[in-house]
Chains A and B, each alone.
Chain A
């Protein structure tokens, strides 16, 4: 692989990752980052957070320069990791999220069942209260430009009686308060995604229905898969960037659709190659 040319990751035709025009737009946009068990997207999430806050993405694109004004709020909601996980990982990119006033982390992982959801079999009310809190935090953000990440919301479908429509409604309401909502979701098939499932209470039925509804509204999709041909020492996985069902309603802005291969080396050195 040493002879293959490395590339910088860009998601749009203007060579950007999160374009300024998206943050300035009145339309709320939706992005889906899907992954499998072997392709954790935490490095991409960190780069997207960095790009949202500062404008750079040092691990995946060294061409990007910092924004002149740091006027974007980034809110990260996670059902899978706590704040320390992202704070420690971002330090490797030279950013301390714990002291950045534009960054807010909402931990829905640590005390989800001990405090927030009293009865998972009858969770609709508690989930509504929980998302009301989240919406308030986003609404109270200082800046108008807002990016919200939500990691593994599908976890609520497999662990409670929440229906896909209820969860979709909460996410759409969150999306109304921000310029870009990034939904990070696992798509292992057939454990989580099974288009042939028919039992309504089956978690894979609920998760597939939920994801399909999101895909019908998404503007950009990023999919991360292990190497389809098997394991390789110098390749961690494949990353595919595709446009969503709805285009960005910004003149001239297009999703740069491409397939990449990537390798995560020591100290989070990420090499990206065109496929």
Chain B
């Protein structure tokens, strides 16, 4: 697990490593570049849910772009956030009127070639038929759209049966998709969260709606290649960690073995290292004898019983 620390005052390009590695993890650089708006990602989609809000992630993105002008389109925020330069109340405003208001702010900045970030606090309030029109009309050079979509709201079926769902449509259009979810905790499992969600209840847990959460980033390259990375984002200390599948698997295994019996079935870090350092005999054999590829090598030992008259026993 590689750690990268970013101080709030420093720009995204300045970084110091807590655990120096031989090579800086590319995924961390990519994440930093995307939230620092240094990548070519005109539309970043943030997916949040009942148990983890995007509030802290938006604050983090804003803190990384404090010199950039931010226009906040509000459907559910009543007061202008501290990081926003402009604020438009969008609830109950027709999309065309809204776009005209956005243009009023964007045009002068566009002429000066200044960067503008447009944050939409909830794209769920825009009708699915208007989504494409809205996004395509907002897009222009130097404008970055960051749209939040709540994945757990009730889905309104479009009158057109063949029209894609909002989340599919947005995920298709977006250049980067960030999905936030709470960090797993010992006393809370998926089943409990599903049950709680079905009754719209929150469990008492420090990981729910916390400042430290799990983030899944899907980045679409120009070539069409799609790459996905998972991170643990701590918006309080501005530290990001790459979460590898192996790390999760190991944690899960450890959790499974915990309290299973009175014996200790877990392996400590020291034991794991010792286990990895054991040189297995067949590896050594391959080094010495398997240099000519593909051959089955058999080395006789003194106790081997070789019968010369047996036609089937031919080690060569």
Contacts and interface: CB of A to CB of B under 8 A. Distances in A.
B197 to A, nearest CB: 6
A26 B199 contact: no
B55 interface: yes
Contacts of A208: 154, 200
B204 A259 contact: yes
Interface stretch (A46-54, A134-142, A213-221): A213-221
A245 B53 contact: yes
Interface in B182-200: 197-200
A227 interface: no
Contacts of B77: 217
Interface size class of A (residues with CB under 8 A): 35 or more
Contacts of B197: 195
B153 interface: yes
B79 A242 contact: no
Task: Describe B's contact surface by its main secondary structure.
Answer: loop
Interface stretch (A88-96, A169-177, A263-271): A169-177
B181 to A, nearest CB: 14
Contacts of B124: 213
Contacts of A246: 53, 55
Interface string A240-269: 111111110100000001110000000000
B157 A217 contact: no
Nearest to A181: B78
B306 interface: no
A216 B205 CA distance: 17
Interface stretch (A37-45, A68-76, A197-205): A197-205
A211 B200 contact: yes
Contacts of B152: 195, 212
Contacts of B153: 209, 212-213, 216
Given A240-B201, A245-B53, A245-B209, A216 B76 contact: yes
B229 interface: no
A198 B165 CA distance: 14
A16 interface: no
Contacts of A168: 76, 91
B50 A212 contact: yes
A197 B153 CA distance: 11
B200 A212 contact: yes
Interface string A7-31: 0000000000000000000111000
Given A212-B154, A216-B122, A243-B209, A34 B200 contact: yes
A116 B209 CA distance: 40
A236 interface: no
A215 B49 CA distance: 10
Given A245-B55, A245-B209, A259-B204, 19 more contacts: A27-B79, A28-B78, A34-B200, A168-B91, A169-B92, A172-B91, A189-B199, A195-B197, A195-B198, A197-B154, A200-B156, A208-B154, A212-B154, A216-B76, A216-B153, A217-B77, A223-B201, A223-B202, A257-B204
Interface of B: 50, 53, 55, 76-79, 82, 91-92, 122, 124-125, 150, 152-157, 197-206, 208-209
13 contacts: A165-B91, A169-B92, A189-B199, A195-B152, A208-B200, A209-B154, A212-B154, A213-B124, A213-B153, A216-B50, A216-B122, A225-B201, A259-B204
